[in-house]
Amino acid sequence: MLRFSKTILWFLAVLLGAYVIACVAANLWLQSARVQERLRAVTSEALGIPVSVGRAFYFPWSGVTLRGIRAEEESPDSPKLTASDLRLRFELLPLLQKQFRIQEIRIIRPLLTWKQSDDGRWRSRPPAPVRTESLTAQPDDAARPAVPTPPPTGEPASGSVPARQTPETFRVEVLHARISDGEAVFLRRDGGELLRVKDIQIEGALGKDGILQGKLEVDETRFPPAILLRDAKANFSFNGSVLSLTQIRAHWAGGKIVGDAEILPRERGQPFDARLRLKDIELRQLLADAGIEQGDTEGVIVGNADLAGRMDDAGSLAGQGFLQLQSGRIEPIDFVRQVGQVLQIEELQMLTLRDAAMKFNIRNQRFNLEDMTLKTDNLVLKASGPVRFDGKLDLDGRFIINEKIRTQLRGLSQNFGPTEDLPGHSQVVFDITGRLNRPKTNLLDRIVGAKLGGDVTGFLRGFFRAPRAEPKPPESEPSATSEGTPPAAPAGN
């Protein structure tokens, strides 16, 4: 029995030794220059851009690991991709049947940096189609026998070398793919940040029908200066031509965005189409994310948007939508609030809205307000015009009041003209410029009818204060004959 046990132990020791030797041999093979070049070439062809690999090694529990991956082209506006590790876990037995069956491919901590070109486009190459690759050794061109040129008659030349047989190829099959802790940064042509996506987690598996399906999670998506999305999630499927994103959901300013989208990654420019709905977006939190003072602002936003365009060209983004503010209270801009404070018109100090809606479209890198209306019981604020993607404003505004507010404005009401769409109301037109987080307007100048300096409150108080009568000197008080000389005493004293 003891001899049998020793035999088993020796057998296991031999197997373990052979396994260790095989692992060492596999690592030495991976470190060879030829294999390293082959790995670099295959990865470069798959990504469509030159790739460099720092190291490659093999462990039974994790498979093949490529470390220090860097992919970029010489052009400064081409995408640049780096990754900490790329790991491949594959089955060994299918290799004997010319099958490269990858159980899992995993990319760890990838970082994509993409800068907009001078003409406003995103330079990219379409992804290469998946192909089976030959893994057999190929002799050098110099070592191959020369093949004589056949005679022009089309008859085979005597002594010619038969055509070389095409080597058998491995059939590559990827069962599971994963991206962990990824990040993507998209830059404008001036170097400013247009979009940053943090903590990307993607997991997918290839089904029996050949369709790749999985889920996507993103911790934070930021569109400076105003949009910050958190905890974005979606399901995806890719059938080789159409990438479908379904059940999109993300938290934005205390509310949610839901929707779906389709992308055609193999077509030129990667066209896309998206349908989004907004639910219970908190206006107060939205202003805070944009760096705008909230004051006593309240309300929630609901709406929808249909968008389409090409991934390589931000200027191609187009679409339309509708937004509505419910239960809204808005603290007006400083000039309007100052008028309300001086005239004691409470409605001008805090707008309690009974109707607030906005219809918009997007084209030519602009968010165009077709009509924005903020309506209270006694006044209406309207605006229309473009808001550029970089936050610049160029809006035309209308400040409309009814007869009640017109009476309270006293002499300033003469600067208001009639309005055709709201009978019984008066209006002044004004401009809104500057940037989204620091808007500028000439509204108060139009209300007053003159360009004011910095002392707006002092001007208004002086304008509305009733004139005082000049004081009359007392009849019994004599005037001094000279400076410092007391008045003469009354006679008889």
pLDDT tens per residue, range 234-257: 999 998 899 999 999 999 999 999
The answer to whether 301 touches 283, Cβ cutoff 8 Å, is: yes
Looking at the domain assignment, is residue 226 inside a domain?
no
**∠ CA 386-392-394 to the nearest 5 degrees?**
40
Mean of per-residue pLDDT scores for the chain: 75
Looking at the domain assignment, is residue 416 inside a domain?
yes
Give the end of a domain, one of 206, 233, 265.
Answer: 206
User: Number of structural domains, the chain?
Assistant: 2
Q: Per-residue pLDDT for 203 more than 80?
A: yes
* Residue 455 vs residue 349, higher pLDDT: 349
How high is the pLDDT of residue 98? 63
Looking at the domain assignment, is residue 428 inside a domain?
yes
* Residue 30 vs residue 117, higher pLDDT: 117
Neighbours of 273 (CB within 10 A): 14
Looking at the domain assignment, is residue 161 inside a domain?
no
Backbone angles phi, psi at 455, to 5 degrees: -85, 70
Q: Per-residue pLDDT for 90 more than 60?
A: yes
Looking at the domain assignment, is residue 174 inside a domain?
yes
Q: Where residue 320 falls among pLDDT bands split at 50, 70, 90?
A: very high
**∠ CA 57-58-63 to the nearest 5 degrees?**
130
Q: Where residue 224 falls among pLDDT bands split at 50, 70, 90?
A: confident
What is the domain range of residue 434? 333-463
Give the pTM.
Answer: 0.66
How far apart are the C-alpha atoms of 317 and 276, rounded to whole Å? 14
How high is the pLDDT of residue 120? 65
State the average pLDDT over residues 28-43: 58
36 and 177 inside one domain: yes
State the average pLDDT over residues 78-92: 80
Looking at the domain assignment, is residue 163 inside a domain?
no
Q: Please classify residue 309 by burial: count the beta carbons closer than 10 Å to its beta carbon, then call 0-12 exposed, 13-18 middle and 19+ buried.
A: buried
Looking at the domain assignment, is residue 105 inside a domain?
yes
* Residue 378 vs residue 294, higher pLDDT: 378
How high is the pLDDT of residue 89? 78
State the average pLDDT over residues 19-29: 56
Q: Where residue 421 falls among pLDDT bands split at 50, 70, 90?
A: confident
* Residue 41 vs residue 81, higher pLDDT: 81
pLDDT over 70 for what percent of the chain? 64
Q: Where residue 177 falls among pLDDT bands split at 50, 70, 90?
A: confident
Range of 77-81, 185-189, 383-387, 388-392 with top mean pLDDT:
383-387
Looking at the domain assignment, is residue 165 inside a domain?
no
How high is the pLDDT of residue 287? 83
